[in-house]
Amino acid sequence: MSHPPDLSAARPPQRVLLVDDDELELELMADRLRALGFETHTVSDGSAALELLQTQSFPVVITDWQMPRMDGIRLTESLRGQGDSDTYIIMLTVLDDDSSHERGYFAGVDDYLSKRAPDAKVVAGIRAAFRAVEMRQALHAVRQQQGASLVSDVATGVLADRMRAEVKRAVRYGRNLSLLVLQLESDNGAAIADMMARAIDIVSTSIRVDIDFATRYRGLDGVQRIAIVLPETAKAAATVVGARLSAALAAGLQTPIDSFTARVGCASFTPGEDTRPSQQISANIEALLREAEAGARVAPLPASRRSETG
* Domain of residue 242, CATH code: 3.30.70.270
pLDDT of residue 82: 82
For residue 153, is it within any domain?
A: no
User: Is the domain of 23 the same as that of 117?
Assistant: yes
- Domain count for the chain, please give it: 2
User: Is the domain of 107 the same as that of 164?
Assistant: no
Boundary (domain end) residue, out of 144, 177, 205: 144
Boundary (domain end) residue, out of 144, 167, 186: 144
Contact between residue 123 and residue 32 where contact means Cβ atoms under 8 Å apart: no
For residue 6, is it within any domain?
A: no
User: Is the domain of 128 the same as that of 207?
Assistant: no
Distance CA 182, CA 231 (A): 17
User: Is the domain of 105 the same as that of 42?
Assistant: yes
User: Is the domain of 303 the same as that of 162?
Assistant: yes
User: Is the domain of 133 the same as that of 165?
Assistant: no
For residue 288, is it within any domain?
A: yes
The DSSP call for residue 302 is: P
Distance CA 79, CA 91 (A): 14
pLDDT of residue 137: 75
User: Is the domain of 118 the same as that of 22?
Assistant: yes
For residue 2, is it within any domain?
A: no
Q: DSSP readout, 141-208?
A: HHHHHHT--S--SSSTTHHHHHHHHHHHHHHHHT--EEEEEEEEEETT---GGGGHHHHHHHHHTTS-
User: Is the domain of 109 the same as that of 197?
Assistant: no
Local confidence pLDDT in tens for the 310 residues of the chain: 434 334 344 444 589 999 999 999 999 999 999 998 899 999 999 999 999 998 898 999 999 988 888 888 899 988 888 878 789 999 988 755 556 677 787 788 888 888 888 888 888 889 888 888 887 777 666 555 544 434 343 334 677 778 888 888 888 888 889 999 998 877 665 556 667 878 888 898 889 887 898 888 877 777 788 899 999 999 999 999 999 998 888 788 776 666 777 889 999 888 764 454 444 555 667 778 888 888 887 534 333 334 444 5
User: Is the domain of 138 the same as that of 83?
Assistant: yes
User: Is the domain of 130 the same as that of 76?
Assistant: yes
User: Is the domain of 187 the same as that of 254?
Assistant: yes
> Helices 46-53 and 72-81, interaxial angle, to 10°?
30
Q: How crowded is residue 74: how many other Cβ atoms within 10 Å of its Cβ?
A: 16
Q: What is each CA distance from 249 to 63, 82, 187, in whole angstroms?
A: 41, 29, 14
Containing structural domain, residue 103: 12-144
Amino acid 112 reads Y
User: Is the domain of 163 the same as that of 278?
Assistant: yes
pTM, rounded to two decimals: 0.48
Boundary (domain end) residue, out of 144, 170, 194: 144
Contact between residue 196 and residue 138 where contact means Cβ atoms under 8 Å apart: no
